[in-house]
C-alpha cells in the first residue's frame, strides 16, 4: 500500500481480512485513510489511524456487532487500538453530522453508534490527500468538497469549541491539553493562512512566522510537548502556562476574525477578565 508505513499496512491488511470475512461480500465500497497518515506525518507512537469505511448501505444492528468484534480482535495490536474511523453509507458522501442519522464509528478501539468526526475538513482531506486501502478509487467517489465549507468549519471550531474550552481553567494545567490547544489552533491558523491543510509540525512553523513574538514561547512549548514530552517545561509554572493557553485562545479568536473571517465581532466581554 503506497504511502502507508509497514506496521500500519500489516494492521490494515488484517482489518480488511476481518471485514471481508465477517461482513456481506457485496457490502463494502472501500476503505480509505485521511488525517496525519495521508499527509505523510504519521507518528507510530502517537498518531491515530484515521479511516472511513464506505458501504453500499447502513450497517444493520447485527452487522454492527460484527464490527465491534472485528475491532476487539484488532485491539491486541497497539496500532489496532488507535484505529479511529467511521462506517458510512455511500450516500453519506459530502454530508456532515447535522445531516446524518447515527452511524457506527470506532474511537480508541471501541465501536459505538452516534456521531463522530465527519465534517467539511474530513471530506476535503479525503478528496485531496486521502489514501485508498481497498475498493473504489477516491476520484470515483464524487466527493466534491468545497473550501468555503472548510473555512466555515474552522470558524465553528474557533467560535464555539475553543471559546467554550477557554471557560475551563483547570484543564489547561495538563500537558496533553496544552499540546492539543497549541497544535490544533496552529493548524487552524495555518490552514486559513495558506489555504491548505498542513501537518501539525508544518503548521507550527507557519504560525511562528505570522504571529507576534509574544506567542513564540507557547508555540515552542507545544513543539516540546509533541516531540520531547519528558524534557523540562519552558514554563516555571503550570498555572502561568495554563493562563497563557487561555489567552492564546482569545487571541486566535480575534486574529481569525480580523484576518480571515468575513464578519468581525468583538470578543465576549468579561471572558478575558476572568482568566
For 230-252, what is each residue's pLDDT tens digit? 999 999 999 999 999 999 999 99
Q: Is-above-0.95 flag for pTM? A: no
pLDDT of residue 1: 67
Res 3 pLDDT > 90: no
Q: What is the pLDDT of residue 265?
A: 43
> Which positions ≥6 away from 73 have C-beta within 8 Å?
18, 80
Contacting residues for 242 by C-beta, under 8 A, at least 6 apart: 169, 170, 172, 173, 178
Q: How many CB atoms lie within 10 A of CB 200?
A: 21
User: What was the pLDDT predicted at 44?
Assistant: 81
Instruction: Please give the pLDDT value at position 272.
Output: 46
Residue 267 has pLDDT above 70, yes or no: no
Tell me the backbone φ, ψ of residue 189, rounded to 5 degrees: -60, -45
Q: What's the confidence (pLDDT) of residue 259?
A: 94
For the chain, how big is the Rg over CA atoms in Å?
A: 20
Tens of pLDDT, residue by residue over 51-75, are 999 999 999 999 999 999 999 999 9
Q: Give the closest residue to 179 by CA, choosing from 271, 242, 272.
A: 242
Q: What angle do CA 216, 221, 227 make, to 5 degrees?
A: 125
Amino acid at each position: 500500500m503506497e504511502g502507508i508505513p509497514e506496521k500500519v499496512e500489516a494492521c490494515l491488511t488484517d482489518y480488511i481480512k476481518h471485514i471481508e470475512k465477517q461482513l456481506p461480500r457485496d457490502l463494502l465500497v472501500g476503505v480509505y485513510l485521511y488525517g496525519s497518515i495521508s499527509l505523510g506525518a504519521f507518528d507510530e507512537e502517537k498518531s491515530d489511524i484515521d479511516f472511513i469505511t464506505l458501504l453500499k448501505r447502513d450497517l444493520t444492528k447485527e452487522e454492527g456487532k460484527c464490527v465491534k468484534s472485528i475491532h476487539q480482535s484488532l485491539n491486541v495490536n497497539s496500532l489496532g487500538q488507535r484505529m479511529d474511523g467511521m462506517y458510512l453509507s455511500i450516500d453519506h458522501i459530502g454530508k456532515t453530522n447535522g445531516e446524518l442519522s447515527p452511524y457506527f464509528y470506532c474511537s480508541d478501539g471501541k465501536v459505538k453508534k452516534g456521531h463522530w468526526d465527519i465534517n467539511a475538513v474530513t471530506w476535503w482531506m479525503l478528496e485531496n490527500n486521502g489514501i485508498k486501502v481497498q475498493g473504489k478509487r477516491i476520484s470515483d467517489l464524487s466527493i466534491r468538497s468545497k473550501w468555503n465549507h472548510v473555512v466555515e468549519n474552522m470558524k465553528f471550531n474557533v467560535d464555539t469549541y475553543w471559546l467554550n474550552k477557554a471557560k475551563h481553567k483547570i484543564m489547561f494545567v495538563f500537558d496533553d491539553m496544552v499540546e492539543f490547544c497549541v497544535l490544533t489552533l496552529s493548524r487552524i491558523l495555518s490552514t486559513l493562512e495558506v489555504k491548505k491543510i498542513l501537518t501539525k509540525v508544518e503548521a507550527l512553523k507557519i504560525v511562528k512566522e505570522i504571529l507576534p513574538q509574544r506567542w513564540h514561547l507557547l508555540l515552542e512549548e507545544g513543539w516540546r510537548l509533541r516531540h520531547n514530552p519528558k524534557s523540562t517545561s519552558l514554563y516555571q509554572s503550570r498555572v502561568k502556562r495554563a493562563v497563557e493557553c487561555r489567552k492564546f485562545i482569545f487571541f486566535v479568536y480575534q486574529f481569525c476574525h480580523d484576518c480571515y473571517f468575513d464578519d468581525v465581532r468583538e470578543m465576549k466581554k468579561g471572558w478575558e477578565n476572568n482568566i
